[in-house]
Amino acid sequence: MSLVPEHRTLLGIDVVKSANNPGYHAEEIGSAVTELLTTALSGVGIGNDDVLMREWTGDGVLLTLPGPLLGAAMDSAQLLDMAAYRRNQRRKPEIRLRVAIHVGPVADAPGYHPAKKTLNRMLDATAVKNLFDRCVAGGPDGEVSTVLIVSEHAKTTAFDGDYLRLLRIGEFSPLPVRNKEHDADTWVRVPGMDSRSIADLLIEPGGADTVRRGDAEERAARISVTNVVHGGGNNGVQAGVIHGDVNLGNR
């Protein structure tokens, strides 16, 4: 009888359209990605000793981390975006990244485990690539540096508890991913864009990744929360706990 491997946090990164860069930039891109990732991870308290496995994928890297570091790994996506944006303001070539996070059973020995296969299918999905291209094309020049895609399981696990410091659930929009045999719901985040804006970009008539408007709006509505406070002025009474920001009539 085989034992189920321990659940690990998987963090994958791919450089967007790296093949479009001249060959002499290849080494610089690799070292830049390492520097950006190290900066982001150290900013959330993840050091080299926490990385159980580091596998280079040609255009990126796949890290296997302990399962309890899921929240920190997701928060690192925000720092990674900030580091990439700052670098792109002063150095060439510009580096844009697709980032994916998943949680699943991964054995201690290196290998192509099902959880890693799932993460790679998410990272390489046409729907994610097309969405990111639309965000880059529609946003201010140089503003969009990363897209984060998170599996349903990772998103639910992270937001069910108080495990995040930087990311908010309202920044994520649902995105069904179909890549080869992989067919699952995921969640995407593009820094600077809210879930409704992303849902609008996903509605692309005639595209291979078309999401029907009703589906997109229904899924986006699932992450909206209405909280009722009984009473007036500063004397209202509220039951329960709010996790995240509270907006009173404006942003």
Higher pLDDT, 108 or 103: 103
**How many domains does the structure of the chain reveal?**
1
Higher pLDDT, 241 or 181: 181
- Examine the pLDDT at 156 and tell me if it is beyond 60: yes
User: What is the predicted pLDDT for the residue at 204?
Assistant: 55
Query: What is the extent of the structural domain holding 38?
Result: 7-225
Any domain includes 155: yes
Any domain includes 149: yes
Cis-peptide, bond into residue 68, ω within 30° of zero: no
Most confident segment among 157-161, 192-196, 214-218? 157-161
- CATH number for the domain spanning 105: value is 3.30.70.1230
Higher pLDDT, 174 or 57: 174
User: What is the predicted pLDDT for the residue at 26?
Assistant: 62
CB atoms within 10 A of CB 207: 13
Mean pLDDT value across the chain = 81
- Examine the pLDDT at 197 and tell me if it is beyond 90: no
Burial label for 181, CB within 10 Å (0-12, 13-18, 19+), is exposed
Any domain includes 42: yes
Any domain includes 61: yes
User: What is the predicted pLDDT for the residue at 178?
Assistant: 87
- Examine the pLDDT at 57 and tell me if it is beyond 90: no
pLDDT in tens, 66-89: 999 999 999 999 999 999 999 999
- Examine the pLDDT at 245 and tell me if it is beyond 90: no
Question: CA–CA distance from 107 to each of 40, 54, 71, 119, 206 (Å)?
Answer: 26, 14, 21, 15, 42
Any domain includes 236: no
Higher pLDDT, 110 or 147: 147
Higher pLDDT, 232 or 3: 3
- Examine the pLDDT at 118 and tell me if it is beyond 60: yes
Segment 2-11 mean pLDDT: 93
Any domain includes 169: yes
Any domain includes 59: yes
Segment 127-155 mean pLDDT: 89
Task: Tell me which residue has tokens 């999905």.
Answer: 125
Any domain includes 233: no
